[in-house]
A and B are shown apart, each in its own frame.
Chain A
C-alpha cells in the first residue's frame, strides 16, 4: 500500500477496495511507528486527516472525486494551514496557528487531498541538509546517519519512507530537487510564478516556488493538476494558461534534443555520481533523444549571486517576526529595542541570523551597488545563458547535486562546503525556469538524482520526459529498508 502510485490508489478508492479513512489510518499508524527514527514530521494532524478522509469517502461515493481525493498527502511546514500549527522549522513560530490557508494547500484540499501533517524543514527553508530545524534534524531513510537534504528534507524523507503518498515542497535554491535526489524520489520545481506563493512563508520572494514531491513523475503530474495556476492573491503568479500535466505523459521522446552543460560535469562532481548521470542520459538516447554538449558559462557565479539576493530578500521578509503581533516574544522586555533584539535572537536559529546579517549588509547604503545590484546583473547573465542554450536544445540535463547524501553533521561547521552543495540547482531559481529531480541510480546504496531543466512553463514537457524514463527504469520504485524491520 505504501508503494502505490496516486493513480493506483485513486482507482482502488473508486473501486471501494479501500476507503480513504482506512488508507489514512494506515499512514497515520506508520508515521507513528517509523517517524520517531526519521523526524520527518513536525506536526501530525490525525484528527483533521481522518475528518478529511471521511469527507473524501463521501465525495468518492457521490462520484465527483479527483485523482487526489482521499490520498494522504503531507505539507512542508512552510505552507500556512488554517488552524494547524505552522512553524517554518523555527522557534520563532513555535506557537503560530495561521487563521488562513495557503493557496497551494487549499487547492489540494479542494481536490480532496487528505493532509496527514506538516513536514520538517530547515528553518525558514534556509539550508541544504535539514539540520537547521528547531525541531531537530531529519534522517535519510536510506541511511539514518545521512542527511535527507534540504530544505524540504521532511517531505522527501516522508515519501521515501512511505509515510505519505505525496508531499508539497518549496524550492528557493534547490530545496525540492536536492532532497528528492538524496532520498530517491521525484520532485519538480515549477517555473517561477506557476504555483502561487500566497500563504507560503517567504524566504526569498523572487526565488521561492512551491512544487510537488512524490514517488514518480506521474504522481507529480497529479499534484500539479491541483496545485498550479494563476492566483489573484499573488501578483507574481503567472496568468499563462495551465497545461494539462497528465495529457502528454506518454508522448514519445523521439526527436528530443538534450543539452549537457560541460560546467555540470567539471571539478567537484563525484565521479560515481557523474557515471550514474551519464548512464541515465544514455537511456534517453535509446528513447530517441539526441545529446548535445552545451555551455552555461556563468554557472560558477550563481553561488555568490544567490547568496546575495536570497539573504537580501530574507533580511526584509523576516523583519515581520518582531515579537509584536505573533510568534515568539521574549520574557519581560525592558523596552522596545530589547523586545526586538531578544525576541529575534531567541526566536531565530544561527543560519537564519547569519543570512539576515548578510542580507542587511548587502542592502546597506554604500554596499548596495557592489552587492545587490551586481548580483542582479549576474542573475540576468545566468538567465541569458539558459535562454540561449534552450534555443538549441529542448531540455538540459545534469546532476542535481555533486554528491549523494552526506553524513549528518559533516558539513555543519563548513558553511562554504554546504553552500557548494547547491551549485547545480541555484542557477535554475535565479533564471526562474522549471527543473526536476528524477531517481537515476545509486552510489554506495545512496540515491542519485538526475536533473532535467526546461524552458519557462515547460513543466508538462519535463514530466513527460521523466515519465518516459521511469517507464524504462525502476530506480524510482526502489525503497529503503527501514529499521525495526518496517519494510516500506
Chain B
C-alpha cells in the first residue's frame, strides 16, 4: 500500500527570561536541586502567581515572526492533574484564549522546494519540576528548580508529510526563536522539546488515520529517526490488517524504537478552567505594534538580503542565515574583508570544517569573526595563497596569534616580486633542461599538460610562497624561450 504520512508537531520552547513565568526565582540549568525556587514554585499554601511580562513580550515577538494573529486578550487556564513534580496539582497554561493564534511558516527543504506549514497556535505555560529516580534508592527525589519555567508551546497543523519536512520545520522554528533571542535553542538541556503526532492514511484518502503522539523528542536527529521508526511500525500494523491504537509513545534513541507510554483510555481529564489567580492579559494595539517594529531581522529576511546585497546563491544564503550566530559571524568577517563570495566560501568551507571537527558552535569559535576577516584580507590582497591561508587558520585555531602575526613569524608572505619569481623560474628551467626541450618540441595540448610540472617545481622551490597567479603567465612566457 502507498501510505501518506500526516504529522503535526508540538514544540515546547523554553523562553530565555531571567526569572520564571510566575515568580521571581532565577531560571537556569544545572543549579543544585530546589535552590532556584520561591513559595510560588513550591506551591506553598497562600502563594500567588505574578505573570512575568518579559515572557509576554517574547511570545508576541514569536507571533509576529510566524505571521500570526496576536491574542489581544489571552487567558491563563489551569490544567489539573496530580504528579509529584507538579507542586500545585495543576499546570498554569492557556487553553481557549492563547497569546498567539493562527500563523504559518514557509519551510524550504534540502531539494529547494518550499512548503507552507500552518501553525494552529502558540501559548504560554509553566514547566513542571523534575522527578529524580537515580541516587534515591526506592525513593524519588523532587527538584523544583524547573517548576514555573516559562514555555511557549507551538502547535502546528497536521500539514507535515515527511520526516525531512518535520526536521526542516523544527530547524526553522529553532532558527526563528534563536534569532529573536527568546530561546537559547539548547536542545540537549531541554530548551526545545518536540511532541510528534503521526498517522498514516492511504494516498488519496481525505480523512486522517488514527494517530499516536511521541513525547519529548529533543534533537533534530532523534525527531527524524523517531518519525521513520514510527512510520514503519504503523505501516507494518496496517499492512497486516491491524488497527493503530491512539496512545502516547516514547522514543528510545538507544534501541531506535517507540514504546507505548499510556493509551487514550488512561488519559487524564485535565479539567481546564480559567485561572482565578491571574487576570486576563489584555494587550493594546500600540504594545503589539511596538514589538513588531522592533523585531530583529528574521532568517528568511536575512537570506533574501544576502542574495540581493551580496549576490550569494540561494543555497549559500540559506546556509549562512540558518543561525543568527552564523549569520553574524559571516557579516562581521565580511565587514573586514568586503568580499562576500570569498567570505561565504571560507565560512562555509574551512571554518565549518574546523567547527565540526571540534564539535563547536560558531559562538564558541576560537577564531573571532574579526580575526577571520583579517585572515581573508591577506588572501584577497595576495599576501598568502589559499593553501597557506588554511595553515594560518589552523595556527590561529590553536591560539598562536593573529593572521598577520603568524604570517610574519613563519615567513609565509607570498613572493609577488616579478624579478624574484623570474629568477626562481630561471633556476628551475636551468635545472630541468631536458624537460624544457621536450616542452618546446610539443604541440599546444601537450604543453598545457606539461606546464603543471613546472608550476609544481616553482611552488616547491618557493615553499608555496610564490603567488600562483603570477607564476603561471611568467612561466608560460619564459618557457617559450
Contacts and interface: CB of A to CB of B under 8 A. Distances in A.
Given A100-B39, A313-B276, A235 B88 contact: no
A201 B278 contact: no
A79 B39 CA distance: 15
B101 interface: no
A165 interface: no
Contacts of A316: 78, 80, 89-90, 271, 273
Task: Find the residue from A88, A98, A319 having the highest chain B CB count within 10 A.
Answer: A319
Given A316-B271, A316-B273, A236 B279 contact: yes
A205 B277 contact: yes
B271 A324 contact: no
Interface residues of A, number: 44
Kindly list the 10 A-B residue pairs having the minimum CB-CB distance in the complex, ordered from nearest.
A319-B89, A363-B271, A205-B276, A206-B276, A199-B46, A201-B45, A320-B43, A80-B46, A320-B88, A365-B269
A88 B78 contact: no
A235 B48 CA distance: 8
Interface string B17-54: 00000000000000000000001001111111111000
Contacts of B51: 235
B430 to A, nearest CB: 90
Given A98-B44, A98-B46, A322 B82 contact: yes
Nearest to B271: A363
Interface in A286-329: 312-313, 315-316, 318-322, 324-326
Given A202-B277, A325-B43, 6 more contacts: A100-B46, A198-B48, A204-B276, A235-B48, A325-B87, A364-B271
Contact of B50 (A199, A232, A313, A319): A232
18 contacts: A80-B44, A88-B45, A99-B39, A99-B44, A100-B39, A100-B47, A198-B46, A199-B46, A200-B46, A236-B278, A236-B279, A318-B89, A319-B82, A319-B89, A319-B90, A320-B43, A320-B44, A325-B142
Contacts of B87: 320, 324-325
Contact of A235 (B82, B90, B277): B277
B49 to A, nearest CB: 7
B48 A322 contact: no
A96 B142 CA distance: 19
Task: Find the residue from B49, B51, B84, B89 having the highest chain A CB count within 10 A.
Answer: B89
A197 interface: yes
Interface string B270-287: 011100111100000000
Interface in A203-217: 204-206
Contacts of A322: 82, 84, 89
A96 B45 contact: yes
Interface of B: 39, 42-51, 78, 80, 82, 84, 87-90, 142, 269, 271-273, 276-279
A360 B84 contact: no
Given A235-B279, A324-B84, A363 B273 contact: yes
A102 interface: yes
A364 B45 contact: no
Nearest to B85: A324
B45 to A, nearest CB: 4
A282 interface: no
Contacts of A340: 82
Interface of A: 79-80, 86, 88, 93, 96, 98-100, 102, 197-202, 204-206, 232-236, 312-313, 315-316, 318-322, 324-326, 336, 340, 360, 363-365, 368, 372
B89 A235 contact: no
B273 A372 contact: yes
Contacts of B278: 235-236
Contacts of B88: 319-320
Contacts of B276: 204-206, 236, 313
Contacts of B84: 322, 324, 336
A326 B46 contact: no
B101 to A, nearest CB: 22
A232 B23 CA distance: 11
A320 B89 contact: yes
Task: Find the residue from B42, B84, B271, B278 having the highest chain A CB count within 10 A.
Answer: B271
B42 A93 contact: no
Contacts of B80: 315-316, 319, 363
Contacts of A324: 84, 87, 142
Contact of B45 (A234, A236, A320, A336): A320
Given A205-B276, A233-B50, A236-B277, A364 B89 contact: no
B278 to A, nearest CB: 5
B280 to A, nearest CB: 11
Contacts of A86: 45
Contacts of B277: 202, 205, 235-236
